[in-house]
Structure 1
Amino acid sequence: MLFAVYCLDKPNSKDLRLSTRAAHLEHAKAHTDSIRLGGPLLTDDGEGMVGSLLILDMPDKAAVEAFVRDDPYFQAGLFEAVLIRPFKQILPAPT
Structure 2
Amino acid sequence: MLFAVRITDKPGMGATRRGVRDAHIAYLSAHAAMLVLAGPVMDAEGNSIGSVRLVEAENRPAAERLCAEDPFALAGCFASVEIDPYRIVFRDGRLVE
Same fold (TM over 0.5): yes
Question: Which whole-Å deviations, capped at 9, do the CAs of 1:37-66 have from their partners, x for residues lacking one?
Answer: 100000124x21110110001110000011
**How far apart are the structure 2 equivalents of 1:27 and 1:68?**
10
Structure 2 gap ranges (5+) = none
Q: Say what the alpha-carbon RMSD is for the aligned residues.
A: 1.3
Task: Give the TM-score normalised by the residue count of structure 2.
Answer: 0.91
Question: Which whole-Å deviations, capped at 9, do the CAs of 1:12-47 have from their partners, x for residues lacking one?
Answer: 1110111111100001001111100100000124x2
Aligned residue in 1 for 2:17: 17
**How far apart are the structure 2 equivalents of 1:9 and 1:63?**
21
SS at match of 1:77: coil
Aligned residue in 2 for 1:50: 49
Asked if residue 28 in structure 1 is aligned to residue 28 in structure 2, the reply is: yes
Aligned residue in 1 for 2:82: 83
How many residues are treated as equivalent by the alignment?
94
Identity of aligned residues (%): 31
| Distance 1:94-1:31 versus aligned 2 partners, 3 A rule | farther
**How far apart are the structure 2 equivalents of 1:68 and 1:12?**
20
Asked if residue 8 in structure 1 is aligned to residue 25 in structure 2, the reply is: no
Structure 1 gap ranges (5+) = none
Instruction: Tell me how far 1:94 sits from its aligned partner.
Output: 4.2
